[in-house]
Amino acid sequence: VAAGVVIAEWDPYTIPIITEVTGTVRFGDIEDGKTMKEQVDEVTGMSSKVIVTYREADLRPRVSIKDESGKTRKVAGTSIEARYLLPVGAILTINEGDAVKAGDLIAKIPRETTKTKDITGGLPRVAELFEARKPKECAVISEIDGVVSFGKDTKGKRKVVITPETGEPKEYLILKGKHISVREGDHVRAGEPLMDGSANPHDILKVLGVKELAKYLVDEVQEVYRLQGVKINDKHIETIVRQMLRKVKIKDPGETNLLIGEQVERYVFEEENERVLGKGKQPAVAEPQLQGITKASLSTESFISAASFQETTKVLTGAAVEGKIDYLRGLKENVIMGRLIPAGSGFRRYTNVQATAPVSDETESEEDVSADAAAS
C-alpha cells in the first residue's frame, strides 16, 4: 500500500445497515406518506427517504434482497433470509429495484448526538450514572445465553425470544420503532443489549453481578471525560462506586440475627455470616443493592454525617427516635466533632503510639562522664 492511501473510513454519526448478499432490492411495507416520507436538507438541498412513525401495528418496514426468480436470498452458510427491518428514523440509501452487491449500504440510522459539545453536555450522563437512575430510553439486555428468534408481534411491539441450550426460553418485547441490534439466528450472551440505547445499571447488577456493574460504571464515566481530554485515575471513580454498592438486601436470614428484606452494610453481613459459620450454623443469603450517591450518603450508619448532607431535621429526628449511637468511624463526623480523622496517623492503631529517641554509645558515655563529675 502506497503512503497516503486511505485504508478505511466511516461515518461516526450513523449506524450502517449493510447487505450480506448480492441481488435486487425489494421494499416491504415502505409506503410514501404512511411509513416513509422524503425530507429535504436545508443546507445541501438534497432529499432523502426517512422511515417515520406509523400507527398500524401490523406494518413492518423492511428491505429484502431477491434473486432472479423473485425469491428472497439467504445469507451464505445459514438458513437466514436476507431481510432487513428498518427502525423509525432510518434513512434509505437505495431505491426499489436497485441491484446491490454484498457489502453495499442499504440504510443508515442516525446516532443520538448531544447538542452541547463541551464538558457540560456530558455531565447529565455522569449525574445519571452516579445517581443510579434508569435511563430515559434504556436498552433491553438478555438475561441468558442463547440463540435469537422472533415471535409473533403484539400491539406495537416486536417479540424477541432467546432460547438457551437447556432450560426455558426468555421473551422480550421491544417497541417497533426501536432499532433491534440482533438478528434471527444470532447467538447472544447474558448482559448483551438487544437494542440501541444505554443499559439500566440495575439490570446489569441483576444479570452480571457487582464486578461487571462496577466496570460498566467506571467505563461510562471515563468516556465522558476522555472526550474532553480529561485524565482521571480509575481509583477515584472506583471509590465512589464502592460506596454505591456497599449495601446488601437479606433474602434468607438463615440462623443469623438479620431479618428478611433488611438492608445492611456489606461488612455487617459478612461479619454476621463468619460468626454463625464458626458455630456450624446456617449463614444468611443476600443480594447486592445499587444506591445513588445521594441515597447512599443519607443511609450511612453515622447520623452526624447524614445530617450534614441533606434533610438535616429529618435525619436528626429519626436518629433521636431510634436512639442511634454514632461511633465516629468516618471522616465527616470526625471533622464535624473536631477530632482527628481516621486516616494516616489518625488511625486508631497509631493514636496511642509513643515515640522514643534511640540511645547511641556516644550519648551513654557522655552521660557516664557527667555522672562521675557530679559524684566527685
Q: Note the pLDDT tens digit of each residue in 241-271.
A: 999 999 999 999 999 999 999 999 999 999 9
Cβ atoms of residues 30 and 86 within 8 Å:
yes
The CATH number fitting domain 14-110, selected from 3.40.720.10, 2.40.50.100, 1.10.3720.10, 3.40.50.300? 2.40.50.100
Does the pLDDT at position 357 exceed 80?
A: no
The DSSP element (H or E) to which 242 belongs, if any, is: helix 234-244
* Residue 114's pLDDT band (cuts 50, 70, 90): very low
What's the confidence (pLDDT) of residue 115? 47
The more confident residue out of 237 and 115 is: 237
Give a three-class secondary structure readout of 39-62: EECCCCCCEEEEECCCCCCCCCCE
Whole-angstrom distance, CA of residue 253 vs CA of residue 234: 35
Tens of pLDDT, residue by residue over 174-192, are: 887 788 888 888 899 999 9
> Which amino acid does the sequence have at 140?
V
The CATH fold of domain 139-197: OB fold (Dihydrolipoamide Acetyltransferase, E2P) (2.40.50)
In the chain, which residues fall in CATH 1.10.150.390?
A: 244-272+279-351
- In sequence order, the 6+-apart residues with CB closer than 8 A to the CB of 98 are 24, 25
Cell of 335: 471533622
Does the pLDDT at position 275 exceed 80?
A: yes
SS3 content of the chain, % helix, strand, coil (to 5): 30, 20, 50
* Residue 58's pLDDT band (cuts 50, 70, 90): confident
Cell of 54: 406509523
What's the confidence (pLDDT) of residue 375? 57
Cβ atoms of residues 228 and 122 within 8 Å:
yes
In the chain, which residues fall in CATH 2.40.50.100?
A: 14-110, 139-197
Which residues on neighbouring strands pair with residue 285, listed in sequence order?
252
Taking alpha carbons only, the member of 243, 237, 238, 218 closest to residue 297 is 243
Q: Cα-atom radius of gyration of the chain, to the nearest Å?
A: 32
How many alpha carbons lie under 13 Å from residue 68 in its C-beta half-sphere? 0
Distance set, CA 14 to CA 40, 60, 63, 173, 273 (Å)? 18, 21, 18, 25, 52
Mean pLDDT is lowest, of 128-137, 147-156, 317-326, for: 147-156
344: left (phi over 0), alpha (psi -120 to 50) or beta: left
Does the pLDDT at position 37 exceed 80?
A: yes
* Residue 155's pLDDT band (cuts 50, 70, 90): confident
3-state secondary structure of 264: strand
What's the confidence (pLDDT) of residue 208? 94
The CATH number fitting domain 244-272+279-351, selected from 1.10.150.80, 1.10.150.390, 1.10.730.10, 3.40.50.150? 1.10.150.390
Whole-angstrom distance, CA of residue 31 vs CA of residue 54: 10
